[in-house]
Amino acid sequence: MAEIRRGRGYVYALEYHIVWCVKYRHQVLSDEVDTGLKEILLQVASDYNFSISEMETDQDHIHVLAECTPQHSIPNMVKVLKGISARLLFKEFPQLKNKLGGDHLWSPSYFVATVSQHTEEQIRKYIQSQKVK
């Protein structure tokens, strides 16, 4: 369960399940790219003052369980996660541009759902099972 936190005049526990895909569903999220992506996303979340409590990839997409404050907007969180990770992964793994045939790593769309105390454990297990198929 997301930790209940306090702000000035409000109390909150916000947690989101976010999923996005590699452009054209190319299967490039494996081995060192997978590891690099996860390290980058954890650093971005820390830099932007939110946290990732769970994440896993499956070759062509990633699932993230993120906690944030009411001041964070989902579109901005996704924008920084996708934008910074794409830039840094292209820099670290230039061969990705050749595999993808262009300048974009991620599809422009994404999925997001709120997580409640009743669904959190189920979502965590689902995210953890992404590579176990």
Question: Would you call 45 helix, strand, or coil by DSSP?
Answer: helix
Q: Check residue 44 and give left, alpha or beta (phi > 0: left; psi -120 to 50: alpha).
A: alpha
Task: Assess contact for 115 and 52: CB atoms under 8 A.
Answer: no
The tokens for 99 are 């595999």
Rounded to the nearest 5 degrees, what angle is found at the Cα of 47, between the Cα atoms of 130 and 37? 30
d(CA 46, CA 87): 17
Task: Assess contact for 21 and 10: CB atoms under 8 A.
Answer: no
Q: Is 12 a catalytic residue?
A: no
Which one from 12, 24, 48, 126 is the annotated catalytic residue? 126
Active site residues: 126
